[in-house]
């Protein structure tokens, strides 16, 4: 019994080993491939590999089960389909300029016993068209509600849409998705509403499409908004500081859209018109004190009228203004004259001192004029003459 049991265990072990080898052999002969996602219009690669071909060839078939390549042999006359690599262990083909009709399940087969296959699902992304914005009415008036619609078709899967007004995000209504007539792509639609203000004049509202087929780029369309609003008047004096006796212009700047078509000037308390007014400019050719007062500018366009006031004050002290440069020139001239006089005084004084010094030296040597020898000259110079008085010295 023990012997039979042992033999039974041996047979069971041999069977397990054989089964293991059979499974290993089966795995090595199984072809392998992978799913592919491609953007419409680009190239897709289909690669099929096997570790143990068992002297058999690999084959690729399309979703309609039509053979594309059997080894190196072309089976379908579609020039977009090309052979990339063919070995006993690999069969790789490519489909150029892929379209939505190329989407589906492709089969790689190896004709062993039994035939083994592997499936590769090809997904073709439909590229969305450039979005179109509709619903804008030009122009809008301040306080109106803008209603815009953005539409993009041809995306697969359905694209996303987003709105911006300038740099700010605009929240839109929920996205509407509908199937295109080809049954493969989709049209998406988004609406947005917002109340326009004068700051929106000239701003661009942008609709952008987000989709996997666009990768790092995007498609967008912008609509520039024009908003009409009433003017905002403001009076600017030129020059800025009015001076009596000088010319002055008051400019009325009426910022509005459209630009103000009419300007009107008045002076508070005056019953007559201002003849110096020319549209937005009020001129004073020779400003005087009687021109002082409050001036009013009215700026008008189709949206309304705006008022601005300016208080003009003319002072008599401003009649003869002195320029700082004039004062500097006068001071410089006075300083130059003083310096010149000091130089002359120094020259005269120097000349006077030199003359008196020469006279003193002459008197010192006067005793030597009639002396017969040097000793007598010295005695005479020291006052040795009879009846001579003491020498006096004068200094100035």
Q: Which two tokens stand for residue 33?
A: 């491939």
Q: Name the 3-class secondary structure at 343.
A: helix
Stretch 354-362: mean pLDDT: 57
User: Which token pair is 316?
Assistant: 């008599």
* Contacts with 37 (C-beta within 8 Å, 6 or more apart), sequence order: 122, 123, 125
**From CA 53, how far away is CA 355, in angstroms rounded?**
136
Question: Tell me, what's the pLDDT at 12?
Answer: 35
| Residue 377 clears pLDDT 80, i.e. is over it | no
User: Residue 13 pLDDT > 80, yes or no?
Assistant: no
Tens of pLDDT, residue by residue over 204-232, are: 999 999 999 998 777 999 999 999 999 99
* Chain-centre distance for alpha carbon 86: 53
- Across 20-41, b (16+ Cβ under 10 Å) vs e yields eeeeeeeeebebebeebebbbe
Whether the Cβ atoms of residue 208 and residue 161 lie closer than 8 Å to each other: yes
Find which of 11-20, 110-119, 265-274 is predicted with most confidence, using mean pLDDT.
110-119
In a 10 Å sphere around its CB, with 0-12 CB exposed, 13-18 middle and 19+ buried, how is residue 331 labelled? exposed
- pLDDT tens-digit map of 69-94: 999 999 988 999 999 999 999 999 99
Q: Return the SS3 of 201.
A: coil
CA dihedral sign of residues 329, 335, 340, 341: positive
380: helix, coil or strand? helix
Average pLDDT for the chain: 83
List the domains of the chain with CATH numbers. Answer: 27-125 (2.60.40.10), 132-225 (2.60.40.10), 230-318 (2.60.40.10)
In the chain, DSSP finds a helix count (H) and a strand count (E) of 3, 25
Q: pLDDT band at 353, cuts 50/70/90?
A: confident
């Amino acid at each position: 019994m023990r012997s039979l049991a042992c033999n039974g265990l041996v047979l069971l072990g041999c069977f397990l080993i054989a089964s293991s080898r059979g499974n290993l052999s089966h795995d090595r002969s199984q072809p392998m491939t992978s799913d592919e996602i491609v953007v419409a219009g680009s190239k897709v690669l289909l690669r099929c590999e096997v570790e143990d071909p068992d002297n058999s060839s690999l084959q690729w078939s399309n979703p309609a089960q039509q053979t594309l390549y059997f080894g190196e042999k072309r089976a379908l006359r579609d020039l977009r389909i090309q052979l990339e690599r063919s070995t006993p262990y690999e069969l790789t083909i490519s489909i150029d300029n892929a379209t939505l009709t190329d989407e589906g399940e492709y089969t790689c087969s190896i004709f062993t016993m039994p035939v083994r296959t592997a499936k590769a699902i090809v997904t073709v992304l439909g590229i969305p068209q450039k979005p179109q914005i509709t619903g804008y009415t030009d122009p809008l008036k301040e306080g109106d509600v803008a209603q815009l619609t953005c539409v993009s078709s041809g995306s697969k899967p359905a694209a996303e849409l987003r709105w911006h007004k300038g740099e700010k995000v605009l929240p839109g209504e929920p996205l509407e998705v509908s199937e295109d007539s080809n049954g493969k792509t989709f049209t998406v639609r988004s609406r947005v509403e917002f109340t326009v203000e004068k700051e929106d004049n000239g701003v661009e509202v942008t609709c952008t499409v987000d989709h996997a087929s666009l990768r790092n780029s995007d498609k967008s369309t912008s609509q520039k908004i024009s908003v009409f609003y009433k003017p905002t008047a403001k009076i600017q004096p030129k020059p800025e500081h009015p001076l009596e006796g000088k010319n002055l212009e008051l400019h009325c700047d009426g910022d509005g859209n459209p630009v103000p078509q009419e300007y009107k000037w008045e002076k508070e308390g005056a019953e007559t018109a201002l003849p110096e007014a020319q549209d937005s400019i009020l001129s004073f050719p020779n400003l005087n004190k009687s021109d002082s007062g409050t001036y009013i500018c009215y700026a008008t366009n189709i949206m309304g009228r705006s008022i601005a006031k300016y208080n003009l004050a003319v002072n008599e002290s401003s009649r003869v203004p002195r320029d700082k440069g004039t004062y500097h020139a006068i001071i410089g001239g006075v300083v130059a004259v003083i310096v010149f006089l000091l130089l002359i005084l120094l020259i005269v004084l120097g000349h006077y001192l030199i003359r008196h010094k020469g006279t003193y030296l002459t008197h010192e040597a006067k005793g030597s004029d009639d002396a017969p020898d040097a000793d007598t000259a010295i005695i005479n110079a020291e006052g040795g003459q009879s009846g001579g008085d003491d020498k006096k010295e004068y200094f100035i």
